Chains A and B, each alone.
Chain A
């Protein structure tokens, strides 16, 4: 399939790198200000080395990329809140041209799910967004395969917050100390707000709620509490009782909640480090747990490319 990739961060560049392994051609690539288009297929290594060396992907513009003759648009620009722009307009443009869209960007399906679905209904294109929830973990495809049997979902959906909490519990260190360590290791961003205030996990839960209930949830419908300023003493007290604290997102009974929760120290949900886990409650299959890497370039790209493989193939 011919792919156009918007966004040249960790995920976008990994998709460029790996697309060939999955039998796809990358015909267009854009970062925030430049673009490269070659409808016979771009040379992945040439694009990536230009990006590394010169900070641009080509001599064209992102608009050229949107107008290119591709079959599926990979939207991997940064997640934005509110109107979810410019990601939403990218989705709109592709669907109006009857092209498929695969999102790694959470914004459009977290903040404007009904708009996306309405555009999709009028288009020959399909929208998939496995990579937006739980990185490499096949959450949405599992929910789809279970044919409406999933009644609730919960889990650890932010690796940065999980890393901070597991380090605090294991080493008895304070929040600020562990945050600084996480930033040094590249696990936390310089501005960790999205991760530690629970916003990132909440966006993923909102997407899960949209899929589970086929309704229109947005970030404002979620009850969100972060882990910032949680003292080490809270984790110590939890440990004395065989428990620990994890930032847990829950989608159940029509509600979306994210916040620190007490879980058994050696329980399924107490994954360590940057791992994520999703637990699905089902009507007939009991409880399913899927854990894995919730972030990272190649990991998230694998979810993007799995989606590309799920797209309806042309005649």
Chain B
């Protein structure tokens, strides 16, 4: 059954900023048996060609994945990168500080720019509005063995922006 083993893949796409584009990009994945894990849709951040970068994590067999990438290209979706990075380690961190003032989307982008990490989920709590300190919980998905590097990146960026990081206890959570 080794040929049918499901793995996690990451696909980086470029979308034109028009209604329905994201759906058009996701359909070939679902239609060909891929299981969507997460979508990181960086609205507000443009590629050099003026398009919106989107990072999609999905699970599929190797054969399905090839079909999916072909189907995306057939559908006119620009696939920048498609790889069998095994995104398998999840870690949750809480950031505290002036998250909005220090540009949360830039913060998130810098986490993912270091490679090997994607932001699967963000939850923001800003009880004092955008002016005061706020907290955000992030679920990061890192390539196997990259959790430590991911945390190091989080620490560096947070340090620069004077944000506090509440890290997960990596062991001992039994």
Q: Given the known inter-chain contacts A154-B169, A260-B166, please indicate yes or no for A267 contacting B174, CB distance below 8 A.
A: yes
- Least CB distance from A187 to B in Å reads 22
Contact with A along B119-142 (1 / 0, CB 8 A): 000010111000001111101000
A250 / chain B contacts, CB cutoff of 8 Å: 169
Contact B171 A238 (CB under 8 A): no
B96 proximal to A (CB < 8 A): yes
The answer on a CB contact under 8 Å between A269 and B172 is: yes
Q: What is the bound-complex CA distance between A154 and B168, given in angstroms? A: 13
Question: In the assembled complex, which residues on chain B have CB atoms less than 8 Å from the CB atom of A234?
Answer: 94, 96, 125, 135, 166
Binary interface encoding of chain A residues 129-161 relative to chain B, with 1 for a CB under 8 A from any of its CBs, else 0: 000000000000000000000001010000000
Q: Is the CB of B167 within 8 A of A261?
A: yes
Known contacts A234-B94, A240-B137, A241-B137; A287/B169 CB under 8 A: no
Interfacial chain A residues near B169, Cβ < 8 Å: 154, 248, 250, 261-263, 269
Interface pairs (17), CB distance under 8 Å: A154-B169, A232-B127, A233-B96, A233-B126, A233-B127, A233-B134, A234-B166, A237-B137, A241-B123, A241-B137, A241-B139, A245-B166, A262-B93, A262-B167, A263-B173, A269-B169, A281-B171
Name the residue on A nearest B127 (C-beta).
A233
Q: CB within 8 Å of A: which of B94-147?
A: 94, 96, 123, 125-127, 133-137, 139
Contact (Cβ within 8 A) A237 B167 = no
Complex: A260 Cα to B133 Cα, angstroms: 17
The answer to whether A238 and B137 have CB atoms under 8 Å apart is yes
A259 at the interface (CB under 8 A from B): yes
Q: Is A279 an interface residue (CB 8 A)?
A: yes
Within 8 A of B (CB), among A210-244: 225, 230-234, 236-238, 240-241, 243
